[in-house]
C-alpha cells in the first residue's frame, strides 16, 4: 500500500540515491527527475542507476536552453551580483529545476516532492519556495535522516588555473539588443554564435580556457549563517562586464541609478529563493523595461583570468563626442557650469540669524 508518489530531484550522485532508496523503504512510489542544466554527468548511467534503485519512472530533461534564456539572460540584464561578488549561478538554476519538478509532480499527480538539499543551506529554500509558489498544496518530503553522506566540495570544473591559461588573449565582440547578447564573435577566428545556449556555452569555453570568473568568498546565507563559497562563472563574468559597459554607454544616468538599486534587490531575492514571487516578477518587468535602448557591440579581450573592455559602439549611444570634447564649445556655455555649481552650493550658506516662521 503506497503512501503516495514523490517526485525526487535526482542528481545521479550518492546523496539523492540514498534518498531514493529511503523513500521507497518508507512506502512511497518514487519518480526520479534529473535535469540537465549543463553539468558534467553521464545521463544514461544515471537513468539506469535510478531504475535499479527502484524508481517507478525516471525523467531526464535537457533544460539548458530554458535555463540560459529564461534565467541567465534576465540576470545579465540586471547585472545580478549578490553581495558585490557572487554571480548567482546555482541560485538561478534552482527555480528552473524546481519549476519542472513541480510540473512533473502535477502531471503525474504526485502530492510530494523531495530533494537532496540540506536543511542549512540556501538550496532547500530555493527548491521549496519555488515549489510552494507554483504548486501551493505540494508537500515536501524531508529526508534529513537518510543523509549520511558528506557534502561534496565545490571544485573548479570549468576554469583553468589562470597561471596555466594561454599567453595569448582571445578577443570577442558581443552584440546586445534589449540588454541581452544576440551574437558573440571571436574576432580573430571570425567565427560567431547567435543562439542563447550556444553563445553561453562558447563564453563558458573561452572564459574557462583563460581562467576567468573564479571566486573564493564568504557569503551570507538567507538563514543568517555565513558560509564559504568557491565558485566559477566564466561565461557569466564575461557577460556581466560586457553588459555593464554597453548599459552605461546607452542608458540615461538617472535611469541607471534607479535600475542599479532594483538590480541589487533582484539579486538578493534570487539568492534567497524568491524567483517566483510577486516582487521578483515586478522587478523583472521593470528591469526589462530599462533595457529598451541597451544595444550595440562591445569588444573585449579575455586573458589570464581577466576581461578587458577594448571598446564599444551603439546606434543608441548617448555619448556625444562633440559635446564632451574639451576642444569644442558647441552649444555648451561654460558660464552655465558656474551657475550650476553656485546653485548647488546655495545649501552651504548657513545663516547666523534665528529663523522664525509663524503665520
Interface with a copy of itself (CB under 8 A), residue from 132, 156, 197, 201: 132
C-alpha to C-alpha distance for 284 and 272, rounded to whole angstroms = 16
Q: Does 286 sit near a copy of itself (CB under 8 A)? A: yes
* H-only helix segments in 117-252: 122-134, 196-209, 234-250
C-alpha to C-alpha distance for 221 and 228, rounded to whole angstroms = 10
Q: Does 349 sit near a copy of itself (CB under 8 A)? A: yes
**Residues in 32-91 at the binding interface with a copy of itself, rule: CB under 8 A:** 79, 83-85
For residues 186 and 248, which CB has a smaller minimum distance to a copy of itself in the complex?
A: 248
For residues 59 and 82, which CB has a smaller minimum distance to a copy of itself in the complex?
A: 82
Q: Does 311 sit near a copy of itself (CB under 8 A)? A: yes
Interhelix angle 278-290/253-272, nearest 10 degrees: 150
C-alpha to C-alpha distance for 318 and 67, rounded to whole angstroms = 32
What is the bridge-based pairing of β-strands 180-186 and 170-177? antiparallel
Interface with a copy of itself (CB under 8 A), residue from 87, 91, 92, 129: 129
Q: Is there a catalytic annotation at residue 137?
A: no
Q: Is there a catalytic annotation at residue 150?
A: yes
For residues 42 and 336, which CB has a smaller minimum distance to a copy of itself in the complex?
A: 336
What is the bridge-based pairing of β-strands 170-177 and 296-303? antiparallel
Neighbours of 44 (CB within 10 A): 9
Report yes or no: 223 and 189 within 8 Å, Cβ to Cβ. Answer: no
What sign results for the dihedral spanned by CA atoms 299, 38, 273, 216? negative
Q: Which of 2, 136, 150, 359 is catalytic?
A: 150
What is the bridge-based pairing of β-strands 112-114 and 214-220? unpaired
For residues 27 and 152, which CB has a smaller minimum distance to a copy of itself in the complex?
A: 152
Q: Which stretch binds a copy of itself (CB under 8 A): 29-37, 48-56, 61-69, 344-352?
A: 344-352
Sheet of strand 4-9, all strands in order from the earlier edge strand to the far edge = 57-62, 28-36, 4-9, 112-114, 139-140
Strand partners, 30: 6
Q: Is there a catalytic annotation at residue 327?
A: no
Convert residues 242-271 into a mask of x (bound to a copy of itself by CB under 8 A) and - (unbound).
Answer: --xx--xx--xxxxxxxxxxx-xx--x---
Closest contact distance (angstroms) between CB of 312 and a copy of itself is 6
Report yes or no: 252 and 318 within 8 Å, Cβ to Cβ. Answer: yes
Closest contact distance (angstroms) between CB of 2 and a copy of itself is 23
Q: Does 154 sit near a copy of itself (CB under 8 A)? A: no
For residues 50 and 302, which CB has a smaller minimum distance to a copy of itself in the complex?
A: 302
Q: Does 157 sit near a copy of itself (CB under 8 A)? A: no
Closest contact distance (angstroms) between CB of 276 and a copy of itself is 8
Closest contact distance (angstroms) between CB of 64 and a copy of itself is 27
Q: Which stretch binds a copy of itself (CB under 8 A): 17-25, 58-66, 186-194, 221-229?
A: 221-229
For residues 58 and 298, which CB has a smaller minimum distance to a copy of itself in the complex?
A: 298
* H-only helix segments in 185-229: 196-209
Q: Which stretch binds a copy of itself (CB under 8 A): 47-55, 67-75, 101-109, 279-287?
A: 279-287
Closest contact distance (angstroms) between CB of 138 and a copy of itself is 10
Nearest to 73 by CA among 215, 204, 240: 240
For residues 25 and 83, which CB has a smaller minimum distance to a copy of itself in the complex?
A: 83
Report yes or no: 171 and 188 within 8 Å, Cβ to Cβ. Answer: yes
Report yes or no: 222 and 271 within 8 Å, Cβ to Cβ. Answer: yes
**Residues in 323-342 at the binding interface with a copy of itself, rule: CB under 8 A:** 323-324, 326-327, 331-342
Half-sphere exposure of 102 (CA within 13 A, CB side): 21
Q: Does 155 sit near a copy of itself (CB under 8 A)? A: no
DSSP state of 192: E
Q: Does 275 sit near a copy of itself (CB under 8 A)? A: no
Positions marked catalytic: 15, 94, 123, 150
Amino acid at each position: 500500500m503506497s503512501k503516495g508518489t514523490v517526485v525526487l530531484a535526482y542528481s545521479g550522485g550518492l546523496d539523492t540515491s540514498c534518498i531514493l532508496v529511503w523513500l521507497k523503504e518508507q512506502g512511497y512510489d518514487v519518480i526520479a527527475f534529473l535535469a540537465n542544466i549543463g553539468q558534467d554527468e553521464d545521463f544514461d548511467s544515471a537513468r539506469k542507476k535510478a531504475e535499479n534503485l527502484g524508481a517507478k519512472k525516471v525523467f531526464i530533461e535537457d533544460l539548458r536552453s530554458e535555463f540560459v534564456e529564461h534565467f541567465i539572460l534576465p540576470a545579465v540584464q540586471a547585472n545580478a551580483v549578490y553581495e558585490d561578488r557572487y554571480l548567482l549561478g546555482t541560485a538561478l538554476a534552482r527555480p528552473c529545476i524546481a519549476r519542472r519538478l513541480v510540473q512533473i509532480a502535477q502531471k503525474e499527480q504526485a502530492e510530494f516532492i523531495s530533494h537532496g538539499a540540506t536543511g542549512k543551506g540556501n538550496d532547500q529554500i530555493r527548491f521549496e519556495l519555488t515549489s510552494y509558489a507554483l504548486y501551493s498544496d505540494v508537500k515536501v518530503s524531508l529526508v534529513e535522516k537518510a543523509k549520511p553522506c558528506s557534502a561534496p566540495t565545490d571544485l573548479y570544473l570549468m576554469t583553468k588555473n589562470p597561471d596555466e591559461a594561454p599567453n595569448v588573449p582571445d578577443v570577442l565582440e558581443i552584440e546586445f539588443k534589449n540588454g541581452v547578447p544576440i551574437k558573440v564573435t571571436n574576432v580573430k577566428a571570425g567565427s560567431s554564435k547567435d543562439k542563447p545556449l550556444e553563445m553561453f556555452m562558447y563564453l563558458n569555453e573561452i572564459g574557462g580556457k583563460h581562467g576567468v570568473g573564479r571566486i573564493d568568498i564568504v557569503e551570507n546565507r538567507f538563514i543568517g549563517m555565513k558560509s564559504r563559497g568557491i565558485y566559477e562563472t566564466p561565461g557569466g563574468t564575461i557577460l556581466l562586464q560586457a553588459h555593464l559597459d554597453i548599459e552605461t554607454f546607452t542608458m540615461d544616468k538617472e535611469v541607471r541609478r534607479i535600475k542599479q538599486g532594483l538590480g541589487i534587490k533582484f539579486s538578493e531575492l534570487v539568492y534567497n529563493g524568491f524567483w517566483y514571487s510577486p516582487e521578483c516578477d515586478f522587478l523583472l518587468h521593470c528591469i526589462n523595461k530599462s533595457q529598451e535602448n541597451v544595444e550595440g557591440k562591445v569588444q573585449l579581450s579575455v586573458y589570464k583570468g581577466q576581461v578587458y573592455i577594448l571598446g564599444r559602439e551603439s546606434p543608441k549611444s548617448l555619448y556625444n563626442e562633440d559635446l564632451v570634447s574639451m576642444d569644442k564649445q558647441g552649444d555648451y556655455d561654460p558660464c552655465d557650469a558656474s551657475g550650476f555649481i553656485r546653485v548647488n552650493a546655495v545649501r552651504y550658506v548657513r545663516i547666523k540669524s534665528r529663523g522664525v516662521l509663524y503665520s
